[in-house]
Amino acid sequence: MQKSVFFRRVLSLLLVALLLWAVLTALMYSFISRPLFTRIKVNELQPKAESIAAMAVRALMQPDPYFNELITSAQSFFESWIFVVDGLSGEFRNTVLPAEYADAEPSIREQINSRMDMILSGEYTSVWFTGRLPLTTTGEMLFIGVPVTLQFGLQSTIIGAVFFVQPLKELNAGLNSLNLALLISSLLVFALMILPAYFATARLIRPLRQTRDVALAMAAGDFSARADVSQKGEIGELAATMNNLAQELSRTISDLILERNRLQQILASMSDGLVAIDCTGRFTQANPAAGYMLDLSAAQDQDPLAPYAELSSCLTEAIRERRPSDRLLQLDGRSIRVQAAPLIANEDQLAGAVALLHDVTESERLEQTRRDYVANVSHELRSPLTAMRALIEPLSDGMVTEEGDRRRYYDILLREIIRLSRLIDDMLELSRLQAGILPIQQSSFCLSSMLDDLALRYGSQADERQLTLELPANRSACPLVRGDPDRIEQVLIILLDNAIKFTPAGGRISLEMDWSQDQVQVRVRDNGIGISSSDIPHVFDRFYKADKAHQQPGTGLGLSIAREILQLMGQTISVQSKPGEGTVFTFTLARDLPA
């Protein structure tokens, strides 16, 4: 409490007010009481002076021993000294002064003579004044003077004056005692009021300090603090207002935090990037997707947008022209659709710009894949259809007359129809696999027997292409596997067809296998032309063909079908390849473990 500036000021103000009250009361009493008591004394002595003046008329005209004795011993009767002055002769008749004031008589007469003209002129019927005589021992005196008037019928003549002189020593002593008592009582009141003033000020300051603590807590983010509202008057109203403010701010901050968290979650969960700059072009904010697209983590000590001049230009254009801007940018080999728009604050004030980054690389690639697919399917469909038309037209026109030629034409037509049917079947089967409507019947079977059958079926085809087909040496020890035998055989056929198709004459195709406690891995390895690193991520995509020139037959659906079949059985397939060195396709099968 002692450190409170407001407390010290209020307490000091109260104490100074009390002290000023005490001092000013004493001073005002000192200045006001003296003239007041003097006036009271004058009012007390003036009737006596007028009585003596009435008696002095006869005494001035003829000697009066009784009057002289009265004047001489006036101090015992009137507690004052009486001076009777003859206005014609200037003769004084006065009380015999006490020994202590014996030296004061000349000074008293001098003071009286200075006022005689005032009385003799008739300007005043009475006069009183105080004066300090030159002698330090006499102190201050009170003079009361009244004229001595002689009546002649209706006319009156002032023939002298009567002065009452009284020392103010006793009056001053009384006044000083009263002043001292008043000053002591004022100081005593001041001393007694120190503690009540202290506690009253502390009681006044305490709720203000509580209200201040609530404000500091609110500034620190704690809106649970509350001020004491039990005080009456403006302080209680201030505390209630502060509590209401804390409650409203708490509700508002909670709503803002909720909205901020909601916005952050929305921005964080967006697959599109979001980048914001201020009016000066300085980077201010980005969501995680934008950080991943632009690799903002690598630019901690510089402007993150510095390497992306086109993006910065798009944002700057939106700020400069105050309208949205749309561009397709190529950033680090990716196609990014940038939609920039100005940020407008209150009252149409520009606050910066924000850009939405949409990675359209995949959609561009898919669009290109669709175009390639359409071209590939068109090519695959055109080839058998063209061949069929070339054969059917001469047969229809009767140009083929030999039975052997017609039979040969019919065989070619049959192969092309089978080829066209296979293409349509592959497309339908892949659609059913991806839709999950193709049934998978899993059972236990011997994989080595399946490999032996495939070797017999593809042995002659490999010999025709001058290829060597090798079976795994450990196939006889291979454990039973669990899956759909027909679909597994279809996967192996797809992989063997691809290996034979892309392996030049003199090459080698080998089937390999190994197993662990819960699965069997099957590999189809060849030393053919291989697959480029840019095509490996897409070899299992639908309708994708690395051969853009369509020099090799096929629709690009086989590997997609193989992956879909294995995924439906809960298995995986992968590829490793180097151009000119060959390719290895590896897929897994579950072992048939006892229950």
Contact 227, 243 (CB under 8 A): yes
| Residue of 179, 181, 188, 199 lying closest to 18 (CA atoms) | 188
Q: How confident is the model at residue 585 (pLDDT cuts 50, 70, 90)?
A: very high
The torsion defined by the Cα of 45, 51, 56 and 58, in degrees rounded to 10, comes to: 180
pLDDT of residue 560: 82
> DSSP class of residue 488?
H
Sorted by sequence, the CB contacts under 8 Å of residue 396 that are 6+ apart come out as: none
Q: How confident is the model at residue 136 (pLDDT cuts 50, 70, 90)?
A: very low
Q: If we measure between CA atoms, which residue out of 201, 196, 217, 207 comes closest to residue 2?
A: 201
Per-residue pLDDT band for 200 (boundaries 50, 70, 90) equals: confident
Short-list 468, 495, 502, 500, CA closest to 581: 502
Local structure of 391: helix, strand or coil: helix
pLDDT of residue 197: 74
As a whole number, mean pLDDT of residues 21-43 equals 75
**Greatest pairwise CA separation for the chain in angstroms:** 203
In the chain, what are the domain boundaries?
5-176, 270-359, 364-433, 441-591
pLDDT band at 588 (very low <50, low <70, confident <90, very high): very high
Q: Mean pLDDT across the stretch 136-160?
A: 74
Instruction: Name which residue leads in pLDDT, 333 or 527.
Output: 527
Output the average pLDDT for the chain. Answer: 76
pLDDT at 131: 59
Of the two residues 427 and 13, the one the predictor is more confident about is 13
Which is nearest to 516 in space by CA: 588, 446, 578, 464? Answer: 588
- Is pLDDT above 50 for 128? yes
The Cα-based distances of 352 to 132, 289, 308, 343, 348 in angstroms read 91, 20, 18, 5, 12
E strands within 79-139? 81-86, 92-94, 127-132
Q: What is the mean pLDDT of residues 540-557?
A: 59
Cα gap 43→36, rounded to integer Å: 11
Q: How far is CA 20 from CA 28, 143, 186, 190, in A?
A: 11, 36, 10, 10
57-62: long-range contacts, CB 8 A cutoff, minimum separation 24 = 57/148, 57/149, 57/150, 57/159, 59/84, 59/93, 60/84, 60/86, 60/148, 60/159, 60/160, 61/150
Percentage above 90 pLDDT, the chain: 3
Domain 270-359 has CATH 3.30.450.20: yes
Mean pLDDT for 129-144 is: 64
pLDDT, tens digit (0-9, with 9 covering 90-100), for 218-232: 777 777 777 777 777
Q: To which H or E segment does residue 200 belong?
A: helix 169-219
Distances (CA, A) of 327 to 111, 344, 354: 115, 21, 14
Where residue 319 falls among pLDDT bands split at 50, 70, 90?
confident
More confident residue, 444 or 275: 444
Q: Is 570 left (phi over 0), alpha (psi -120 to 50) or beta?
A: left
| pLDDT over 50 (residue 414) | yes
pTM above 0.75, yes or no: no
Q: In this structure, are residues 109 and 131 in contact, taking their beta carbons and an 8 Å threshold? A: no
- Under the banding of pLDDT at 50, 70 and 90, the label for residue 586 is very high
Question: 441-591: which CATH number, 3.30.70.3280, 3.30.300.10, 3.40.980.10, 3.30.565.10?
Answer: 3.30.565.10
The CATH superfamily holding the domain 5-176 is PAS domain (3.30.450.20)
Is the pLDDT score of 550 beyond 50?
Answer: no
**The pLDDT value given to residue 126:** 59
Rounded mean pLDDT, 316-324: 80
The confidence score (pLDDT) of residue 130 equals 63
What number is the average pLDDT over the span 179-193? 77
- What are the pLDDT digits (tens) for 272-287? 777 788 877 777 777 7
User: At residue 24, what are phi and psi to the nearest 5 degrees?
Assistant: -65, -35
Average pLDDT score over residue span 23-43: 75
Instruction: For residues 557 and 486, give the distance between their C-alpha atoms in angstroms, rounded to a whole number.
Output: 18
* Overall average pLDDT of the 180-190 stretch: 77
Query: Is residue 212's pLDDT more than 60?
Result: yes
How far is residue 277's CA from residue 351's CA, in Å, rounded to a whole number?
A: 9
Say whether pLDDT at 391 is over 80: no
Q: Which of 30-44, 284-298, 423-437, 524-538 has the lowest mean pLDDT?
A: 423-437
Please choose, from the candidates 411, 425, 420, the residue with its C-alpha nearest in 3D space to the C-alpha of residue 383: 420
Q: Going edge to edge, which strands form the sheet with 325-331? A: 283-286, 273-277, 350-359, 334-344, 325-331
What is the DSSP pairing of strand 155-167 with strand 273-277? unpaired
pLDDT for position 1: 47
CA distance 410 to 466: 29
Kindly state the average pLDDT of the residues 189-211. 75
Task: State both tokens at 498.
Answer: 């691809």
5-176 and 270-359 share one fold: yes
Q: Looking at the domain that runs over 364-433, which CATH code has it been given? A: 1.10.287.130
Q: Note the pLDDT of residue 392.
A: 82
137 has a pLDDT exceeding 60: no
